A = this chain, B = another copy of it.
Amino acid sequence: MKGFRTNQMIAVDWKPNKQDKTPIYRQIVEYISEKIAAGDWPIGSRLPSQRDMAQTFGVNRSTVVSAMEELISYGILESDFGGGTRVASNTWSIRMSQPPDWNKYIRSGFFRPNLDTIQTINHMEFEPGYIRIGTGELSPELYPGKLVSKIFRRMPERIPSLGYLGPLGLPELGEALAQWLAVNQGIEAKASNIMVASGSLQGLQLVSVCMLKRGSNIYTEAPSYLKSLQVFQSAEMCLHGVQMDEEGLEYWKIKDASNDSLLYTIPSYHNPTGTVMSERRRGEVMNFCQSRQMPILEDDAYGQLWFDEKPPKSLKARDKTGSVIYMGTISKTMAPGLRIGWVVGPEAVVYRLGDVKMQTDYGASSVSQWMMTELLTSGDYDIYLETLRRELKARRDNALTSLSQYFKGIATWNKPSGGFYIWLCLKHRVFMDRVFADALKAGILLNPGNMYDYGENHAIRLSYAYADPEDLRKALKILADIIEKHQKR
C-alpha cells in the first residue's frame, strides 16, 4: 500500500541506494530525520508499520528495526499506543529555528477532513491493480478521445484570449447552455439565470457558503450522495435523511419544512440507489415545497443517461416561481477533468453565487468553458450521448446478469433504467469494515453504503460505469464469497 495515507499517517515513498557506501540503516535514519526537519512530517504523525516500511524500502525488517531504535534513542521518534511509531521531536539538531507546528494548523480550519473511508478510496483510486466496483465515474475506455481531439483542433480559432471572466462565466457558454436546456430539457432559462461552476460540487460548495446559515436544515433522500460529502456538514448545517419508496422521496415525512431550510434531491437516477422519482411524485414535491416557500436544490448529474426512455421532466422544468436551483454537469457524461458544471436559478441567486465564486477561484478554466461551448453548439455532445447510453445499458445488463448469478441468496437490488448505480442491499448483517478490508486484499475497491446513509446499513453502491465488464463479473463473484463468509445469520 505504498503512498497510502490516512489523515495523519505518513506516506513513505523512497528507497535506499544499495550502491551507496553508507549503511542502509543509516540511510533510513537520515531519510526520516530529513523529512521531519523539513516539516514534511509534523510532530505527532504516525509512521507506517515496520513491516510496511521494510517492504517499501526493499530491505529486511531487522534493518528497519535498527533504524527506528536509533531514532527513538535520539528522541526523534517515540513508540505509539498500539505498537506503532510516531514523530516525537524536530528539535534535535542545534538549530535556531524550527518548523511551525503544522499539525496544529492543519487541525484548525473549520473544513473537516474527508471521512476516513473516503480518503482511503480517494487514494486507492490512484493505485493501479484494483477492480473498482463502486467508482462514480466513466471508465477511461469510454473516453471519447477522437471527439475531444476534434474539439481541440477547433479551439485556436474559437478562443480569442484567456483572460479573466465575469461572475457567471463565459457568456458564450451561458447562451449555449440556455439554448440546450430549452431544447433538450424544457428548462426555460436565460444566460442571466445560469452560472458556470467548476463542476457541480463547486455549486454545492457555493450554496453552502452563500445561502445558508449555521444550523440550517437540509433534507435529502436517505441514502444520499450528499451525506458522503463534508461540504454542508463542515458549514455546521444539519442534514436530515428522508426515506424513499419506489417513486422517490417520501416528502410528507419532512417535518420541519420552513423557509430557512432546503431540499436537496437527485430525482433522476439517484446516487446511490438508481431510483427515478415518478412524474406524479415530482409534481407533489414541487407543490409541497412551493407552498412552504422551501427552496429545492436539484442535482441532475445523471439525467442525460437514460437507457430506454427519458426520465420525467426535471423539477426545474416545472418551476414557474423560481423555487428550484438546478445543477448539471459534464462530469458524469463525458469528462470530469473539464471541471464544468452549471447552476440555474433566479438571477439574484446565481448573481450572489457568482460574486462569491469570483472571490474563491475566479471561475472555471476558460479553456474548458470554450470546449464545452463547442461541444454543445456543434451538436457533437448530443450525438455522443446516444452512443454512451447504448454502452452504459450494455454494461448495466452485464452487471445484472452477474448479480443474478452470484447474489441471489445474499442480497436484493434494483434494476436501474439509467445512470451508473445499483444499490445492493445485503439480506443479513455484516461488519462492513471487514468486508471492505477483505475485498481490498482480494484486489477489489468497493464503496460501502454507510458512506451515503444516515444510520447503520448493509448496502453497497455498485457502479457499472467504471470497471471493465469482465472484471466486474469476476469481482462480484469474489465479493459474493467474501460476504457469505462474513454474514451474521
Interface residues of A (CB under 8 A from B): 5, 7-8, 11, 13, 35, 37-42, 45, 95-106, 108-111, 113-114, 119, 122-123, 125-126, 137-138, 140, 143, 145, 148-149, 152-153, 155-156, 159-167, 192-193, 197-199, 201-202, 205, 208-214, 216, 229-231, 234-235, 259-260, 287, 290-291, 293-295, 320-323, 331, 334-340, 346-349, 351-352, 355-356, 358-368, 371
Contacts and interface: CB of A to CB of B under 8 A. Distances in A.
Nearest to A138: B163
Contacts of A208: 109
A137 B165 CA distance: 11
Contacts of A162: 143, 148, 334-338
A322 B39 contact: yes
| Best-surrounded residue of A110, A138, A143 (most CB of chain B within 10 A) | A110
When all copies of this chain in the complex are counted, the total is: 2
A201 B163 contact: no
Contacts of A213: 108-110
A96 B291 contact: yes
Given A96-B291, A365-B365, 8 more contacts: A40-B193, A42-B346, A99-B346, A108-B212, A110-B209, A140-B163, A198-B362, A198-B364
| Best-surrounded residue of A45, A366, A371 (most CB of chain B within 10 A) | A366
A120 to B, nearest CB: 12
Nearest first, the 4 closest Cβ-Cβ pairs linking A and B are A39-B322, A337-B366, A162-B337, A97-B290
- The secondary structure that dominates the A interface is loop
B336 A163 contact: yes
Given A230-B359, A362-B199, A100 B259 contact: yes
A7 B351 CA distance: 9
Contacts of A356: 109, 111, 113
B95 A321 contact: yes
| Best-surrounded residue of A193, A331, A359, A366 (most CB of chain B within 10 A) | A359
A212 B105 contact: yes
Contact of A38 (B287, B335, B346): B346
Contacts of A287: 96-97
A126 B205 CA distance: 26
| Best-surrounded residue of A125, A231, A349 (most CB of chain B within 10 A) | A349
Given A119-B355, A192-B11, A337-B366, A160 B140 contact: yes
Contacts of A152: 152-153, 155-156
Contacts of A156: 145, 148-149, 152-153
A367 B337 contact: yes
Given A152-B156, A156-B148, A349 B143 contact: no
A289 B376 CA distance: 52
Contacts of A361: 197-199, 201-202, 205, 339, 361
A166 B321 contact: no
Contacts of A259: 100-101, 104
Contacts of A331: 164, 362
Nearest to A365: B365
Contacts of A40: 192-193, 322, 346-348
A15 to B, nearest CB: 14
